[in-house]
Structure 1
Amino acid sequence: MINNNRDKNYSEWYNEIINKSGLAEFSGIRGFMVIKPYGYSLWEIIKYELDKILKNSGHKNIYFPILISKSVFSKEKEHNKFFSEGCAIVTHSKIKKYNNKSIIDSESKLKEELIVRPTSESIIWNTYKKWIQSYKDLPVLLNQWGNAVRWEMRTKLFIRTSEFLWQEGHTAHSSKNEAMIEVKKILNIYTDFLKDFMAIPVIRGIKPHIDKFHGSENTYCIEALMQDGKSLQIGTTHFLGQNFSKAFNVKFTNFNGKKEYIWSTSWGMSTRLIGGLIMSHSDDKGLIIPPKIAPIHIVIIPIYDNEEKKNFLIEKISKKLISILSINKLRVKYDDRKMFTPGWKFNEYEIKGIPIRISIGKNEIKEKKVEIFRRDTCNKIYHLLDSRLPKFIIELLNDIQKNIYKKALNRTMKSIIKIDCFNEFKNHINNFGGFILSHWDGTYETGKIIQKKTEATIRCIPFDYGKEEGKCIYSGKYSPQRVIFSKSY
């Protein structure tokens, strides 16, 4: 049972769901989390499905070291200036015992400090010097599954942690046009993945220049609206231009025999996806997980009777049903633990967000049917125990997937509003949140003033809302089009 209510204490509700569903918990080091088996199984499915898509689009997996020498990390100046403030640094290689205490061995100080990877552009481009000589070596389309460390002042499980798991793509191209095509292709892959698998609708756009990835020419993003009206940046792609190839002096011989710098991209999504999943779909009973990424599609719970003969029949029918459903590639769990009551189990699986729960007891056997509970609506359905049941379950899972997305999409669309008056803007963002389409004059100063007065930031310049000239909501100066404002995580 979830004690906190979304409307009264959203943050505590979020933390309680993570705790009681068994997804994760903080470790003894601030900002570092332990992803528990159920949470990691969810990440494994997300990783498996996205990995297939990336491989089918021509990308290959690779792995680079987690430690980067300081001299290599420092080569791209803008990148280094931003990330160095939040880096973890290795300075010594040994610990020794002194008076039964573990202390750093001063004699083991490294000649050069090592940076614990916050992102991998620098080490990858240092390596590309050896790999790329000619246009025949291009494009290079790589993806890495791993972890990164960025010290965080304010931490929140999955959303903002000092260490996180992610995938980071890094590509090298012979032309600006080819690199731009890659950036937008990946943004569309992310958008479709979130819709089709995670049932999360997003707004696509380009980050304002004042908020781009440091070391890039442009940053593109997808923003998702959570149930509390705040925005979550859930994925980004970066057009790096020739910044890193110039910093690392990586040139290739083009088709005409001339040397030129390489064009590049990078992009990534992380375990923040799980936080977005929780805040997009879950309710006051617990998690709601879209079937396509659910670690368990169906849980079957036997309702035991006092008669051993009937219990044997319940188990026989349940196991036969598991066999049939498993053949259809459905992930099924059979919970026959006798130390817990059926009611206790019902509550447990509602909190875990299992899409479908099937109950089988003496009444179901007598009437040759099963009770089916769908987590997204909390409605019960009865279906005959016959050959049509597997097909019905598959169709029901598809319907649940569509319904979860439809609900999130409707909520998002209702929360998008155009506002041209700053006082109205302040009132709306403080009382309702959501995505606000307003004009901005494009200056850093105005963006910061609006943020200070409202806590709202420019999430992106959206692709899908057209250009509409107007006046900045705060300064009154010319604005070529509306941007998306929102409070955010």
Structure 2
Amino acid sequence: MADAPAEPSKSALKKAEKQAKMAADKAAKAAKQATLAVVGGKKADDIIGMTVSKTENFPAWYQEVVLKAEMIEYYTEISGFFILRPASMFIWNTIRKWFQERIEAMDVEEASFPMFLSSKSLEKEKDHVEGFAPELAWVTKAGDKDLEVPVAVRPTSEAVMYPYYSKWIRSHRDLPLRLNQWNSVVRWEAKQTTPFLRAREFLWQEGHTAHLTEELAGEEVLQILELYAGVYEQLLAVPVVRGRKTEKEKFAGGYYTTTVEGYIPSNGRGIQGATSHCLGQNFSKMFDITVEDPHPKGDEKAKHIHVWQNSWGLSTRVIGVMVMIHGDDKGLVLPPRISKIQVIMIPVGITKSTAPEDKARHYDQLEEIKRTLKSAGVRTDYDIRDGYTPAWKFNDWELKGVPLRLEYGPKDAAKSVVSFARRDTGEKGTIAISELSTEVPKLLETIQSDLYNKAEASFRSHRIEITEWEKVIPALDVKNVVLIPHCLKEKCEDKIKDLTTGNQEETEGPEQMKAPSMGMKSLCIPFDQPAGIVKGETKCLNPECEALAESWCMFGRSY
């Protein structure tokens, strides 16, 4: 780490605190303003429905949808922090349950370590923590007394956990040691914070494991990566590309990093979904985690060897990715498997002139339908709030993203059917009440797969293979990520970012290219490599690089 001070001075801490607060206040103000557009003389947060178009102002649309769909609330006491409301926590807990079941089948055990790191531990792994140095939050007082030695709030837990791995692992028989914890971490962002994507505190799981050999560690890395892909593809209906990070982009202090990478169609930017790292023996050497070699060569005396370690993590960022991909101008669009309410039933045709006994009988029928659907495993509710029209309720539940709406009125009752409307496509139809327990689950699965297929088609059509440098920036400008032949050298990546960072100078010709200021960076080396590169023969696409390409590498503007 860029030497995080063991004992920062009071003046330094106060200065850093003041600077961070100023940056945070500015960021919070900007974020809040993004949601306060004025429409017809009213502030946007005073209007019930959406006021911002996803295509016209994507950042403001995103801020508005997560607020109005009741996914988050700004924590106004301290900027950069967000309250996750029940709709978000349901999604996170669904992911947690799904993932936990699968890692338990791999004999991963759950643990909980303290949230504070000593400066001594940080010093031991300073090269790794260097990237976190500007974001470390330090505790300097307890009550009215200064702490003798300040402690940091964890940005990640290697320094907390690994001293105890060294204590607990005494023999190769103690391997593998596989622990996972669900917790929150704090990274005191100075940049503008964004719900789910960039927050000063966020929820995640972090798995930390130790193995006897590189091969065993490598097997687990890919097993976990496939589970992460499953979270995105099977639960969130979000396609991802599996791959390996370049040396420049890998986890600091690690051996290599594997990743699942997503794509946001609205702005053409890539986004890292989750990472599974092989740490190699780097950390076991820092923290002296060794075992006696169980397989010494020949008559050689058994020696101590450093274990091989992995770490892997998935955060609440996944929720933001899902919102950005599936949402529309009406609000959220939730995949059924992670929606707290999968079906909302709304009575129609009930008016002031409806007799009380007829109204009560109609509501009893709604309750019976609800029980039928719940018995079929469908998360169902009905909306019988007084004072709101059916149309208002339709809009309200569309804003919240409920996958399927069922309408039930006297005319439906007479025909023994319910009318339905899909949130994702708007498609409408009817279902016989006698078939609800089979047809509704089937329809929900159709919605789930259709959402995935739509997103997958978009990602695939915007993942472009390019072998001519002059086509790169035009491809980025029409919201693509690009696959290019690349030498995988760090200096070359830096140069590519420079070459694709737009300036505002006009180019010659009728079409004046004014590229956005953001340059592209490597997203991953996909495991699924297209044909066409001949190793040792194909040149790196960077026109200023003389090296030969090692593989296709996916680049893009990214979060």
TM-score of the pair, normalised by structure 1: 0.94
| Number of the residue aligned with 1:456 | 520
Point out the more displaced range, 27-36 or 239-248: 27-36
Q: String of CA shifts for 1:375-419, please: whole Å, max 9, x gaps.
A: 111111111222x21100011011111111110111111111112
Say whether residues 1:234 and 2:304 are aligned partners: no
- Residues 87-145 of structure 1 deviation map (CA, whole Å, 9 limit, x = unaligned): 11112212xxxxxxxxxx3xx22222211010111111011122110111110111110
Q: Distance in 2 between the 1:333 and 1:227 partners?
A: 32
In the TM superposition, what are the counterparts of 1:205-284 in structure 2 within 5 Å? 205-228=243-266, 229-256=268-295, 257-284=302-329
Partner of 2:332: 287
CA contact (8 A) 1:203 1:462 kept: yes
Supply the AA of the counterpart residue of 2:484. Answer: S
**Alpha-carbon distance in 1 for matches of 2:129, 2:66:** 34
Distance, in Å, in 2 between the alignment partners of 1:74 and 1:183 is 27
Residue 390, structure 1, aligned to residue 437, structure 2: yes
- 2:314 alignment partner, SS class: strand
Matched residues in 2 for 1:434 and 1:164: separation? 29
Does the CA-based 8 Å contact 1:122-1:244 persist in structure 2?
Answer: no
Q: How far apart, in 2, do the equivalents of 1:78 and 1:2 lie?
A: 46
Corresponding residue to 2:410 among 362, 367, 370 = 362
**1:65 correspondence with 2:129:** no
Which secondary structure state, in structure 2, belongs to the residue aligned with residue 126 of structure 1? Answer: helix
Residue by residue over 1:163-196, the C-alpha shift from the partner in whole angstroms, topping out at 9 and shown as x without a partner, is 1100111101111111111111111111122111
Q: Deviations over 1:413-446 (max 9, x none)?
A: 111111223332112212x122201123333233
Q: Which residue of 1 aligns with 2:428?
A: 380
Q: CA deviation at 1:214?
A: 1.0
Count of aligned pairs between the two proteins: 475
Is 1:331 matched up with 2:379?
yes
- Please give the alpha-carbon distance, in whole angstroms, between the structure 1 residues aligned to 2:123 and 2:410: 70
Deviation at 1:26, TM superposition (A): 2.4
State the 1:154 CA deviation: 2.7
Structure 1 position 33, deviation (Å) = 0.8
Give the letter for the 2:322 counterpart. L
Secondary structure of 2:495 counterpart: helix
Structure 1 residue 112 and structure 2 residue 149: aligned? yes
AA aligned opposite 1:433: K
- Residue 210 of structure 1 aligns to a residue whose secondary structure is coil
CA-based RMSD of the aligned residues comes to 1.5
Quote the Cα distance in structure 2 between the aligned partners of 1:441 and 1:72: 37
How far apart, CA to CA, are the structure 2 residues paired with 1:52 and 1:340?
Answer: 42
Alpha-carbon offset, residue 235 of structure 1: 0.3
| Contact in 2 for aligned 1:253/1:259 (Cα 8 Å) | yes
- Paired residue for 1:436, among 482, 489, 492? 482
Give the letter for the 1:187 counterpart: L
1:37-436 equivalences in 2 (<5 Å): 37-94=86-143, 105=144, 108-152=145-189, 153-228=191-266, 229-256=268-295, 257-303=302-348, 304-305=350-351, 306-386=354-434, 388-430=435-477, 432-436=478-482
Gapped runs of 5+ residues in structure 1? 95-104
| Partner Cα distance (2:198, 2:555) in 1 | 20
TM normalised by structure 2 equals 0.83
CA distance in 1 between counterparts of 2:87 and 2:131 reads: 35
**Aligned-partner SS, 1:471:** coil
> Per residue, is there more strand in 1 or in 2?
1
Deviation at 1:448, TM superposition (A): 2.0
User: 2:141 is matched by which residue type in structure 1?
Assistant: H
Distance 1:284 1:296 in 2: 20
Q: Distance in 2 between matches of 1:267 and 1:17?
A: 30
Partner amino acid, structure 2, of 1:67: F
SS in 2 for 1:358: strand
Following superposition, the deviation at residue 466 of structure 1 comes to 4.6
* Cα distance in 1 between the residues matched to 2:303 and 2:101: 37
Cα shift at 1:476 = 4.2
Matched residue of 1:235: which SS?
A: strand
1:307 Cα deviation (Å)?
2.2
The answer to whether residue 27 in structure 2 is matched with residue 15 in structure 1 is no
SS in 2 for 1:479: coil
Distance 1:154 1:217 in 2: 31
Q: Distance in 1 between matches of 2:416 and 2:239?
A: 40
Q: For residue 400 of structure 1, what is the amino acid of its counterpart?
A: I
Identity of aligned residues (%): 33
Q: Provide the secondary structure at the position in 1 that maps to 2:248.
A: helix
Give the SS at the match of 2:374. helix
Partners of 1:369 and 1:382 within 8 A in 2: yes
CA distance in 1, matches of 2:320, 2:332: 11
1:240 counterpart SS class: strand
